[in-house]
Structure 1
């Protein structure tokens, strides 16, 4: 690593003098402010005040080797996890709203979201296997008793698959995760003692008698999607396995999931030549305060035969703290972590984009990545201005990453989750490795650094302070100084 002199060049010294006197807390840059159209470093800026919304600009490398003491040095010799991608869920409701748009408007939005060259380059999608709580109705892919009755349904064929195909044209390399909210009702029982039929969309348990049939259900779904030109990258055995109250749901305690995957799902996928990753759990950090379910995935990993089928585990943040990710990583460092769901909604009413942008960037985006998550996926990509389509028993108070006006299906409001995902996906590409940083640190400044497969570097940074701050970044060969607006999220990438 190249050594740098501690002498400060005049420009940096003047910047430090200005900051010592105090920086303005007002960010007066307007979204249409002219700026450089090229440079060594590509920069994306979103401010809490919405004066800049994913504004693209550029800065150049410094021309000598003098470093400011406010330098953050990237250390690619310290390596953490490899990144899979970042994105949102394409639910039935999301697909419905997208298809209500005019084709030109929809294509424009999808390119802004998924295009790796001209847009955010979002790279990971989550979809439901059957219905979710944001579907047009409650259904599975085999509502009639008997696995031979498996078939894709109208929601897949009319809404979700057409949208996925449009996205794949824009970004052919996008990863797709599938999660079921419920198996067919004929596979469910009230509990594993009585084994009485549980003819309900909500709650119940998977009848061990149908472990093999349900594993076949997953195989058939992955094969049916492949026949449509859609490769499935990963699955979870059950969405929110500790929540029996969702509009479509089922309880699947850790020992049930262990047995189902070990004895049925894992072997069936293997026999079918399917390489989709299996992630355990897919629920909250706090295990919904059920003491017997604490460390859910770690308990599964204690069974070597079961653990062999799991790539890792997945988490939501509707309860508990992201520190649980680090705890599970420490218990099983060889296993992967992904963050698969979070939502905003009317419970955030009164909190403007700025408050949510800063908190969500700190907790959801950087907070999960800096605790070993390989991917970050938020909930609905798009809902309408009435928070739908939704239905009784599901979330009727959720916002999408973006909300589209139900009056014209054209006017789009972009919410915090759209920006936090975009700030990651725009500069951190699939296959990137999170790397170490050292040097300058400041309260209220949170960041993560990466090296992409093409040898470019990326830094995603949050400045939640009320003052602008200037920081110099160095990869050991090149360096640049950057003025980071107060209460903003900024992404940088350079070769």
Structure 2
């Protein structure tokens, strides 16, 4: 997580109305008992005003000829990236808050979030390898020098792993990505010139003399998680490698990451029989304004041997513009792109759903997907109403995708990131292919279409106008219409008929 202390606008928590996790109002089912409970097209709708709160509804295909000038036609002949999934980070803080809930409330929330049949079907989780800036303490898995001293710590065994097991019991298909915030301090040096020992959680570099040790550290972590029933789908070599100021952090410039993966991490993973994907970079669109770090992943991929070990690159949005993803895709078209972190907080009015829902879907949700990202992962799934647990040196002003009351660990407020991920994961399934569209366009109306592995279709739409808009969708054989409310996000899914 970006160190925001010098750039964030501090503010007080606005007293808010919270949505109870145990409420009888289940927004995943039709809210009006007179509405149909089945139909050809399943639809989820959320408005910035919360008048429609991920409301589930149904409509049928039209039985009349389509004469609407507002018709969007799906075009399967145009294909883009294959989607991996959508989700949030299960940090130590998130796991702590979840485990403070009653078992029944936690199960209800996790089913609503991850179940493919009873909920949103969120499908991708990011976790820290060791501590993050939302951990209960600063630590790595090997703080005592010597690889014989490697071991999972309390945060993994008592918090993160138990929560992951509950989630995987609900949705066994969830993918998990791991990122380290720092190497063990005994592996760090002050810089690559002096190579002096660097006894600090914050900053420093990985000592090249410990490349092999640190690669073994990754292998041991993946194997330890596997032993605990947690399969690791992907990793990044370093969270925010250009940010030395986080509460736990380490610099890793592009030439360092290239050498570390080429000479140590990649070969070690293969020798261990692990097919875990490696994504380069894992930081901001603007490379923190470091001119010599621009196009960080592309520079790594220019080494043919190094490139063979990388699946692609990962990005955050704390600086720069999402158009950078288009540039990277053009320069490395055979490499994947995923989006791995974004946060809301007091600095961007993070609990104002009317503002954030549409903006976050435009910039993060559909914005990154339309720029070739095959995954969207937001930051903490759950923080408490004190924006924590947090620590000095980390973000003190962040909200979670949801915030839970620290008074009762039951009452939940759902923020924009919960909805944008849910609107994607509810209809766009892992393995879906983004496809083309033709026809109706209008200012303030943004949409993206997909074809799922089961041959069903999905569309996610933003209506960022002040008026409801009735739009017709056609798959070339069937069509239907639905009125998207003003300032709303709408997700549609339907089966392809023979």
State whether TM-score is above 0.5: yes
- Report if aligned partners of 2:351, 2:416 keep a CA contact under 8 Å in 1: no
Cα 1:451/1:350, change in 2 over 3 Å: closer
- Report if aligned partners of 2:244, 2:250 keep a CA contact under 8 Å in 1: yes
- Report if aligned partners of 1:67, 1:472 keep a CA contact under 8 Å in 2: no
Cα 1:455/1:402, change in 2 over 3 Å: same
Whose radius of gyration is greater, 1 or 2? 1
- Report if aligned partners of 2:341, 2:378 keep a CA contact under 8 Å in 1: yes
For residue 407 of structure 2, what is the aligned residue in structure 1?
407
Task: Quote the Cα distance in structure 2 between the aligned partners of 1:397 and 1:32.
Answer: 37
Task: Quote the Cα distance in structure 2 between the aligned partners of 1:355 and 1:41.
Answer: 28
For residue 11 of structure 2, what is the aligned residue in structure 1?
none
**Aligned-pair CA distance for 1:36:** 1.6
Secondary structure at the aligned position of 1:86 is classed as strand
Alignment of 1:367-386 (within 5 A): 367-386=367-386
For residue 209 of structure 1, what is the aligned residue in structure 2?
209
Deviations 1:268-301 (Å, cap 9, x if unpaired)?
A: 0000010010000000000000000000000101
Alignment of 1:368-447 (within 5 A): 368-447=368-447
Matched, 1:218 2:218: yes
For residue 231 of structure 1, what is the aligned residue in structure 2?
231
Task: Quote the Cα distance in structure 1 between the aligned partners of 2:95 and 2:33.
Answer: 35
- Report if aligned partners of 1:31, 1:53 keep a CA contact under 8 Å in 2: no
Deviations 1:39-81 (Å, cap 9, x if unpaired)?
A: 1000000001110010000011011333311100000110000
Alignment of 1:95-494 (within 5 A): 95-349=95-349, 352-494=352-494
Secondary structure at the aligned position of 2:421 is classed as helix
Secondary structure at the aligned position of 2:395 is classed as coil
Task: Quote the Cα distance in structure 2 between the aligned partners of 1:179 and 1:429.
Answer: 24
Secondary structure at the aligned position of 2:437 is classed as strand
Task: Quote the Cα distance in structure 1 between the aligned partners of 2:32 and 2:183.
Answer: 50
Secondary structure at the aligned position of 1:57 is classed as strand
**Aligned-pair CA distance for 1:330:** 0.2
Task: Quote the Cα distance in structure 2 between the aligned partners of 1:66 and 1:358.
Answer: 29
Secondary structure at the aligned position of 1:298 is classed as helix
For residue 72 of structure 1, what is the aligned residue in structure 2?
72
Secondary structure at the aligned position of 2:282 is classed as strand
**Aligned-pair CA distance for 1:351:** 6.5
Deviations 1:146-187 (Å, cap 9, x if unpaired)?
A: 111100000000000000000000000100000000000000
- Report if aligned partners of 2:349, 2:356 keep a CA contact under 8 Å in 1: no
**Aligned-pair CA distance for 1:32:** 4.7
Deviations 1:340-378 (Å, cap 9, x if unpaired)?
A: 000001112386211100100000000000000000000
Deviations 1:166-217 (Å, cap 9, x if unpaired)?
A: 0000000100000000000000000111000010000000000000000000
- Report if aligned partners of 2:339, 2:375 keep a CA contact under 8 Å in 1: yes
Secondary structure at the aligned position of 2:368 is classed as helix
**Aligned-pair CA distance for 1:104:** 0.2
Secondary structure at the aligned position of 1:141 is classed as coil
Task: Quote the Cα distance in structure 1 between the aligned partners of 2:67 and 2:431.
Answer: 30
**Aligned-pair CA distance for 1:234:** 0.2
For residue 5 of structure 2, what is the aligned residue in structure 1?
none
For residue 27 of structure 1, what is the aligned residue in structure 2?
none
Task: Quote the Cα distance in structure 2 between the aligned partners of 1:300 and 1:317.
Answer: 21
Task: Quote the Cα distance in structure 2 between the aligned partners of 1:230 and 1:284.
Answer: 28
Task: Quote the Cα distance in structure 2 between the aligned partners of 1:315 and 1:329.
Answer: 12
Task: Quote the Cα distance in structure 2 between the aligned partners of 1:355 and 1:349.
Answer: 8
Output the aligned Cα RMSD. Answer: 1.0
**Aligned-pair CA distance for 1:35:** 1.9
**Aligned-pair CA distance for 1:458:** 0.0
Task: Quote the Cα distance in structure 1 between the aligned partners of 2:177 and 2:442.
Answer: 37
Task: Quote the Cα distance in structure 1 between the aligned partners of 2:108 and 2:401.
Answer: 16
Cα 1:310/1:350, change in 2 over 3 Å: closer
Secondary structure at the aligned position of 1:275 is classed as coil
- Report if aligned partners of 2:437, 2:449 keep a CA contact under 8 Å in 1: yes
Normalised to the residue count of structure 2, the TM-score between the two structures is: 0.93
**Aligned-pair CA distance for 1:451:** 0.2
Task: Quote the Cα distance in structure 2 between the aligned partners of 1:280 and 1:68.
Answer: 46
Task: Quote the Cα distance in structure 2 between the aligned partners of 1:290 and 1:450.
Answer: 36
Secondary structure at the aligned position of 1:274 is classed as coil
**Aligned-pair CA distance for 1:33:** 7.1
Task: Quote the Cα distance in structure 2 between the aligned partners of 1:67 and 1:169.
Answer: 47
- Report if aligned partners of 1:281, 1:296 keep a CA contact under 8 Å in 2: yes
Task: Quote the Cα distance in structure 1 between the aligned partners of 2:329 and 2:291.
Answer: 20
Task: Quote the Cα distance in structure 1 between the aligned partners of 2:208 and 2:262.
Answer: 12
Normalised to the residue count of structure 1, the TM-score between the two structures is: 0.93
For residue 20 of structure 1, what is the aligned residue in structure 2?
none
Q: Where in structure 2 are there 5+ consecutive unaligned residues?
A: 1-29
Task: Quote the Cα distance in structure 2 between the aligned partners of 1:164 and 1:57.
Answer: 31
